[in-house]
Amino acid sequence: MSNPNPTFLIEIENLNFAYGSRPVLSGINMRFGLGQVVAVMGTSGSGKTTILRLIGGQIRPQAGAVRVSGQSVHELDKGGLYALRRKMGMLFQFGALFTDLSVFDNVAFPLREHTDLPEPLIRDLVLMKLQAVGLRGAQALRPAEISGGMARRVALARTIALDPQILMYDEPFAGLDPISLGVTANLIKRLNDALGATSILVTHEVQQSFAIADYVYFIAAGKVAAQGTPEDLMSSTDPFVRQFIDAAPDGPVGFQYPASPYASDLGLRS
């Protein structure tokens, strides 16, 4: 069961972020405990991927901070940032495999890039990671020869190649069949426990993420709209949480990207 008093490996404090003049996140506070799987949910465009990019130090907040092990990410120098990223594994939302490399070489890539390990050891590590995702038998195949779900698992093996302490998954369930969905969710949980890592799971998938998450944040319009354990949220009466969990089309969450009035866009006079 989840630890009620975790040590927080990652803390986001009073963070504001805008792309140019377009505010995306405002006054965000979040904490990610050591050993936990934390789900970050919210509608499309709410800022979830942006949060992952802030944690990885790819972009800088205009106010507030992301702290990893107490260190403010945006204050790290190049060397510090490199060391931090070495501890992180990221499964990108549209992450692609190298199409001209075999499954084996895709997983070996970060090991060859970031370590001086001898090739026999790299081989053992790659096979161990492929075994963990159930694809040791597919090591010689190229990405074009495997299914989309298998490709996702290879990407997962590549993500964990360096035994990261922080694992970030951006929509790992997109496009998977119901069985692969369950397999992937279990895998994320097992890998987190085996590595003693902190996993951040960005997803729309309520059922799978609630099954494995210790804690859940709901993001809406750039703010934390709700948070709690899956049990808390399942019994929540908050209209936003209910709309999301019950997948209701009507509720506080709107469908439209902010736009000028439709009539004026069409050149009609109101």
Ligand X SMILES: Nc1ncnc2c1ncn2[C@@H]1O[C@H](COP(=O)(O)OP(=O)(O)OP(=O)(O)O)[C@@H](O)[C@H]1O
What is the contact surface with ligand X in residues (CB under 6 A)?
19, 22, 24, 42, 44-50, 93
Which of the listed partners (ligand X, Mg ion, none) does 192 bind, with a CB threshold of 5 to 8 Å by partner kind? Answer: none
Interface region with Mg ion, contact rule CB under 5 A, candidates 44-52, 67-75, 76-84, 101-109: 44-52
Pick from 26, 49, 72, 243 the residue near Mg ion by CB under 5 A.
49
Specify whether the CB–CB gap between 166 and 88 falls below 8 A: yes
Specify whether the CB–CB gap between 192 and 167 falls below 8 A: yes
Tell the smallest beta-carbon distance from residue 219 to ligand X (Å): 7
Specify whether the CB–CB gap between 191 and 197 falls below 8 A: yes
The reply to whether 95 sits near Mg ion by the rule CB under 5 A is: no
Rounded Cα distance between 233 and 243, Å, is 12
Tell the smallest beta-carbon distance from residue 95 to Mg ion (Å): 12
Tell the smallest beta-carbon distance from residue 181 to ligand X (Å): 17
**H-helix segments, the chain:** 48-55, 78-86, 103-114, 119-132, 148-159, 178-195, 206-212, 230-234, 239-245, 262-265
Partnered with residue 89 across adjacent β-strands are: 167
Smaller CB distance to Mg ion: residue 16 or 49?
Answer: 49
The reply to whether 174 sits near Mg ion by the rule CB under 5 A is: no
Which of the listed partners (ligand X, Mg ion, none) does 19 bind, with a CB threshold of 5 to 8 Å by partner kind? Answer: ligand X
Give phi and psi for 13, each to the nearest 5: -120, 120
Tell the smallest beta-carbon distance from residue 164 to ligand X (Å): 21
What single-letter amino acid sits at 159?
Answer: T
Which residues make up the interface to Mg ion (CB under 5 A)?
49
